[in-house]
Structure 1
Amino acid sequence: MNELTVKLEDISVSFGNKHIFDIEQMSAYMNDRIAIVGRNGSGKSTLLKIIAGVFEGYTGEVQRETDFNYLSQIGDPKTEISESLDFEMLSRMNIPGNNNLSGGEETKYRIVQTLSDYKMGLLLDEPTTHLDQQSIDFLIQELEYYYGTLIFVSHDRYFINSLATKVWEVSDGRIKEYAGNYKAYEEAKEQEKLEQERQYENTIKEKERLNKAIEKQASKADKMSKGQKSQDIKPDRLSSSKQKDTVQKQAHKTAKAMESRLNQLADAKRPDQQADIEFPVSKAMELHNKFPIMGRDVTVERGGNILLDKVSFQFPLGKTIAITGNNGSGKSSLLSDIVQGSGNFDISPKVVIEQYKQMDYKMFGTEQVMQFLMRHTELNESIVRSMLVSLGFSPSEVMKPVNQLSGGEATRLSLALMFVKPSNVIILDEPTNFIDLMTIEALEKFIRAYQGTIILTSHDRQFISRTADRVYTIFEKNLIDIT
């Protein structure tokens, strides 16, 4: 039998009046590699903190049979030199020897700090945030050889598929375990949806059958009641009358039994049905230039450093263009220069750009979510409502004032706002950072439905493979088409 490393029993977590989740019993064993998934705010990080022993706001019992190292989602790296630090790993992660670390470099430094102190349990909260593909690959290689129990929160499906042997889904206040990686989890969820659809259809059919049978029995009893005289029953007809009365009572009894059976049937819940989304382009927004955004001998420079040196490109109409590259290679800077339109850019005069920036989620005002979006769009209400459903907004959340949204809700609203506004070009700078997997999948759906041109940067390989028509990478100050 596998060696137990941690066991959770009768766990309950609430923040004020808000219930987060309950766990009757869950366990992790030696060499388990468990990915925790769920919507933002569902309690993923809280679950990790409970296992780590750094959160006490819960009831229940935690049995730890090993020590755990814990990488929090946000933290300040202690950059002083330490004898325990793995300097070879520090070098392989390309971390500079100074205190002026970028977001990606800071994450890499904290990862090295965590992995340098080996323990039999390892907890990682969003370890790939801000990391480029090269660093993600390095981290995967390190964790593939890790001996012990690995439990991590991640929104990177490539990362999960590469490592996970189990998935813990945090949803609707409970936690459910699935065997396998994220691909296996998706397949299991699809089977659950099909089974729920089958049960729904069977329940509806059974209810319809019972209602018809009840009506038939009630009609039969009613006809017998009308056909039987209440007075002056002759002796020779007495036995016939008693027989009719018995049959009538039996009909009523049968109808009541059917009604009882009907009441016992649980209310059928149909799986969420999400209609395909279409973003029609108005006549005023139509572009006829085959390459609405072009660059000729474009140089991108920041702080005296040349990031791209005299690069040329043509971004085609109606396509999604992904720009990849290592941290600090100039991806965000290139997008910023395209928006500014200065220098050697040739941008069609009819281009109307909407831009999503990293951490672009602050919302102000007391308008309700639906009212807020409708004020900024020419789309009809049904399309906007379908978008909000895809993004996981419940009917009550749609009625929330925008200034009362959580960070995750505000981020989702920012994404919706970008697509509902009139535009023919959308620019997305690392849009998958800080959003959950369900929102990433909704964003992919929006991108595929959008009829204009999209230019995006991302380190999420699966996101790129599902959305991009053309892929470029920045390497040694060049912009290279690797499609």
Structure 2
Amino acid sequence: MISINDLSYYIGDRPIYDNASLFIGPKDRIGLIGLNGTGKSTLLKMIVGDVQKTSGEINMSNETTIGFLNQDLLSYMTDDSILQVAMQAFKETLKLQEQIDQVLKEMEENYRDELVDQLAKLQDRFETNEGYSMQAKAEEILEGIGFSTEDLQRPLREFSGGWRMRVMLAKLLLEKPSLLMLDEPTNHLDLPSIQWLETYLQSYEGACIIVSHDRRFLNASINKIVEVSGYQLNLYSGNYDFYLKEKEMRNEIQQNAFENQQQKIREAERFIERFKAKATKAKQAQSRVKMLEKMDRINAVVDDTPQVDFKFTFRTKSGRHVARLQNVSKSYDDLEILENTDAHIERGDKIAFIGANGKGKSTALRIVAGTEPHEGTVETGHNVTTAFYAQHQLEALNVENEILEELKQAGSGKTEQELRGVLGCFLFSDDEVFKKIKVLSGGEKSRVALAKTLISESNFLMLDEPTNHLDMMSVGILVQALKQFEGTFLLVSHDRDFISKVATKIWYIEDKQIKEYPGTYEEWEWWYNKEQEKKKASQVETAPAKKEKTKAASPKPKPDQESKAIEKEIKQVEGKIEALEADVNRLEADLARPDIYEDQDQMSKTTNRYQSKKAELEKLNTRWEELVEKLG
């Protein structure tokens, strides 16, 4: 589908790619990985033509279509609703709808046979393009990635950058390009939305290239890994876990080959040195010199994974009780987040706060940090010193400071050499530590702020989405750092692999309460799934429960009565849907008959009835979905 041959790209005299090649097949789902700055996003931009290559070829067929989700889309603003923005994906079908409306308007004023023929052709193309279901598809995808039904008619302008990016993702998914390119899509998604996108991509009909630091997301979504390393595109057939094993094996083979070659070189050099002056051996010595000159040298394997040794120290050790929440409530206008909830953090707790966006995780984190107004009490324990990392912490960096100077001001007491070592772990090496904060990218600022947090000598860390904008290696560094950390931390994250490696307790919000599971993420996931299965089984068992005796006062319906009422309404709605679908099919058949257009009044009435029935059918389908969801 797309062939990349001998691709080179230079910034000045610095190579990003040097004669790199890759073929992207029509069903390939590729995870594009590599260190920050190796050119992953640049490659995607070269494929779409936004960046011009230095040399080489990128060839694709005329039929190839490309959808590209990148950070530049964050700047897109409009007063159109998010549903309208997503439906821009159906550009051709929407244009057909406009043409149909125009023809119908013309027929009202000047009925002609040629207009009837034109309308019939347009409606046939509209139906072939599945125009009658395009709105339902847009709603399904928008709700799949986290929007509520009420959100769909809100203007795009009202949403934050992350939510606007979700709308652009929905638009791309609806376009169904032959190549879908997603640059860090999980940065803008919560856990349920990430799981929904995983499932969607598994059955996606086209090819995908995904840049992501989320290991579990890549494992579930891709079938090939392309590693950007050594200015080349190195292909591995398999998911990310397979890549790690395969790379280890390739490195072992390469290292063995390197050592064998070095042994041969040493033997040849000793022979040359020993016999170059001997007339009887001079010819053989010269032959070995030529052999060494022609030899393709094998490079030694370089371990590019830095090991973290921060040697965390605390000014003081915290008391046993780090924080205690009692009867805490929080609401925004009519939206109630927490209601009289309690929670307790003890020294040494490694807690991951998980769940869907909008449930209040970040709000609860700020309440613990003391930066969010609330009802109830939050008590901080004895000798607790806190460091809080969130995306807004990037704004607190002094843009005129150099990176090294910014870390010096963190007050850790570390020497310059120690701070340079920390910065090296966060991929700032040599003279890069003297770059000013104002010239850094968002990802680089994230790394600086994170490094400041980790060296702050605080014994209680609070981290809000710390892995956003980090590459795989930086996430690995953070994992190593938190494993060495002997204090207490509470973090919010949607990266399941990251959580599973660092957390020993799980917090989540349910029924406006902070709930705790005393175990790892895998243990919580297994337990939670079992609990959901029990609830569903319980609902099925209680559905045909015995009727309650009628009382003088009208009591609140019990769960079994509610289930029975819902089942009854579902049957009623299904009957209405069946009847309406029959009406719609009959009206579609009527509108497909050419003779109906000979009677303008009859055609107008039939069209109006058809549109009315379709609207009623959509409402009933929505109601049916709501009832089924209530029933579980």
TM-score (norm 2): 0.63
Shift of 1:144: 1.5
Shift of 1:460: 0.8
Q: 2:244 aligns with which of 186, 192, 195?
A: 186
**Are 1:70 and 2:122 an aligned pair?**
no
Checking the alignment, whether the CA contact within 8 Å between 1:77 and 1:109 is kept in structure 2 is: no
Q: 1:135 aligns with which of 193, 197, 213?
A: 193
| Larger helix percent | 2
- Residue 526 of structure 2 aligns with which residue? none
**Are 1:13 and 2:9 an aligned pair?**
yes
**d(CA) in 2 for partners of 1:464, 1:179:** 27
**d(CA) in 2 for partners of 1:250, 1:385:** 57
Equivalent residues, number: 449
**d(CA) in 1 for partners of 2:434, 2:258:** 29
- Residue 387 of structure 2 aligns with which residue? 354
- Residue 360 of structure 2 aligns with which residue? 330
Checking the alignment, whether the CA contact within 8 Å between 1:33 and 1:150 is kept in structure 2 is: yes
Letter paired with 2:228? V
- Residue 412 of structure 1 aligns with which residue? 447
Letter paired with 1:281? T
Q: 1:294 aligns with which of 324, 343, 356?
A: 324
Shift of 1:279: 2.6
**Are 1:393 and 2:389 an aligned pair?**
no
Shift of 1:41: 3.1
Q: 2:35 aligns with which of 32, 39, 42?
A: 39
What are the superposed Cα offsets for residues 20-62 of structure 1, whole Å, 9 maximum, x if unpaired? 3244421111211111112233222222233234444554332
Correspondence list, 1:66-215, <5 A:
66-75=64-73, 76=76, 79-80=80-81, 81=84, 82=87, 84-85=134-135, 86-95=138-147, 96-97=151-152, 98-99=154-155, 100-195=158-253, 198=256
**d(CA) in 2 for partners of 1:208, 1:421:** 50
Task: Identify unmatched segments of 5+ residues in structure 2.
Answer: 88-93, 95-133, 520-632
C-alpha distance 265-166 of structure 1, shift in aligned 2 (>3 A): closer
**d(CA) in 2 for partners of 1:399, 1:210:** 46
Shift of 1:269: 4.5
**d(CA) in 2 for partners of 1:211, 1:16:** 38
Letter paired with 1:165? N
C-alpha distance 9-354 of structure 1, shift in aligned 2 (>3 A): same
**Are 1:52 and 2:48 an aligned pair?**
yes
How many percent of aligned residue pairs carry the same amino acid?
29
**d(CA) in 1 for partners of 2:489, 2:42:** 35
| Larger strand percent | 1
Q: 1:468 aligns with which of 465, 482, 503?
A: 503
**Are 1:280 and 2:326 an aligned pair?**
no
Task: Identify unmatched segments of 5+ residues in structure 1.
Answer: 222-245
C-alpha distance 270-29 of structure 1, shift in aligned 2 (>3 A): closer
Letter paired with 2:407? L
Checking the alignment, whether the CA contact within 8 Å between 2:144 and 2:193 is kept in structure 1 is: no
C-alpha distance 77-94 of structure 1, shift in aligned 2 (>3 A): farther
- Residue 454 of structure 1 aligns with which residue? 489
C-alpha distance 212-379 of structure 1, shift in aligned 2 (>3 A): farther
Shift of 1:131: 0.7
Q: 1:61 aligns with which of 45, 57, 60?
A: 57
Shift of 1:17: 5.6
- Residue 228 of structure 1 aligns with which residue? none
User: What SS does structure 1 have at the residue aligned with 2:186?
Assistant: coil
Checking the alignment, whether the CA contact within 8 Å between 1:156 and 1:460 is kept in structure 2 is: yes
What are the superposed Cα offsets for residues 210-240 of structure 1, whole Å, 9 maximum, x if unpaired? 899999x69xx9xxxxxxxxxxxxxxxxxxx
- Residue 435 of structure 1 aligns with which residue? 470
Letter paired with 2:69? L
For structure 1, which segment, 199-208 or 320-329, has the greater mean C-alpha deviation from structure 2 after superposition? 199-208
User: What SS does structure 1 have at the residue aligned with 2:336?
Assistant: strand
**d(CA) in 1 for partners of 2:5, 2:285:** 47
**d(CA) in 2 for partners of 1:46, 1:364:** 29
Shift of 1:419: 1.1
Letter paired with 1:378? G
Shift of 1:19: 3.7
Checking the alignment, whether the CA contact within 8 Å between 1:77 and 1:110 is kept in structure 2 is: no
What are the superposed Cα offsets for residues 165-193 of structure 1, whole Å, 9 maximum, x if unpaired? 11112234322211111111222233344
